[in-house]
Amino acid sequence: MPTLSDLVTYCDERTRRAAYKDAPGAFNGLQLANRGRVTKIGAAVDAGVVPFQKAVAAGVDFLIVHHGMFWDMPRPLTGAVYERLATLIDGDCALYSNHLPLDGHPELGNNALLARQLGLVPDRPFLVKDGEAIGRIAARAGTRATLRAQLEKLYGRVIAIEYGSDAPSAVAFCSGSGNSAVPELRPAGVDTLVTGELREEWFNTAQEQNLNLYLCGHYATEVHGVKALAAELAAKFDLPWEFIATDNPL
């Protein structure tokens, strides 16, 4: 039976966790240990009482999340903060968080997988921060109408803001929040972005700079990386795994 340390070491090395300079509150890596034994892997987008309860009920004792627990810490261990920790500890469930490394990874990352689900090859780096690419760019032939139709088949809600080219030659991908990505489009020679969500003011920028922006949901665009890492980890260590879905529409 693999140990907790075995799985953590594999995840750290496979995602190149230490190479990415993330927000301090991201606290990538093992956020909460268990007693050291792992029998089932789980994957979820967010830390939260409900996904933790679902994971424990499903027998998960190693849960991978994209958004961890400590963004606004330190906080008193009361209320929902206490319930999160108590749920994991009572269920002997370890928590492993991986944010930017699991956006930018060329194989397991959200952005590479966003491109590949459209049949595209994400072969150019995009949104490079501290030497590491967070996003990806893929060359594409076809119309933006076809791109929009592909996205609408994959995602429950797609907001299309279309002021760019009718047949974009390339598409940039930035899962989750794309607010930092929009200013980087024109410098990268791209006018089309697939992302999760944006602030309201970027609509005017799209009109002024002739951009195509496709918003597919923050949560929905970030299920891919945790699923891919959990599936690979499960295959490596011969363990079952399960995706812990929530009703997050955002």
4-98 matches 103-221 in fold = yes
Mean pLDDT of 93-118: 98
Residue range 169-207, pLDDT digits in tens: 999 999 999 999 999 999 999 999 999 999 999 999 999
Backbone phi, psi, residue 168, to 5°: -65, 135
Is the model's pLDDT at 75 over the cut of 90?
no
- Mean pLDDT over 89-114 rounds to 98
Residues of the chain with pLDDT > 90: what percent? 96
For residue 130, give both structure tokens: 């501290």
Domain boundaries along the sequence of the chain? 4-98, 103-221
By the 10 Å C-beta count (0-12 exposed, 13-18 middle, 19+ buried), 199 is classed as: exposed
Using CA atoms, how far apart are residues 23 and 159, in angstroms rounded to an integer?
28
**Which class is domain 103-221?**
alpha beta
Q: What is the pLDDT of residues 3-34, one digit of tens each?
A: 999 999 999 999 999 999 999 899 999 999 99
Cα–Cα dist 192/45, whole Å: 25
Taking Cα atoms as reference points, which of 105, 111, 94, 107 lies closest to residue 42? 94
Question: In sequence order, what DSSP letters do the residues of 200-247 get, joined into one string?
Answer: TTHHHHHHHHT-EEEE--TTGGGSHHHHHHHHHHHHHHT--EEE----
CATH 3.20.20.150 fits 4-98, yes or no: no
Distances (CA, A) of 60 to 4, 44, 174: 12, 11, 29
Q: How far is CA 211 from CA 168, 181, 229, in A?
A: 10, 12, 32
d(CA 185, CA 191): 6
Predicted pLDDT of residue 74: 85
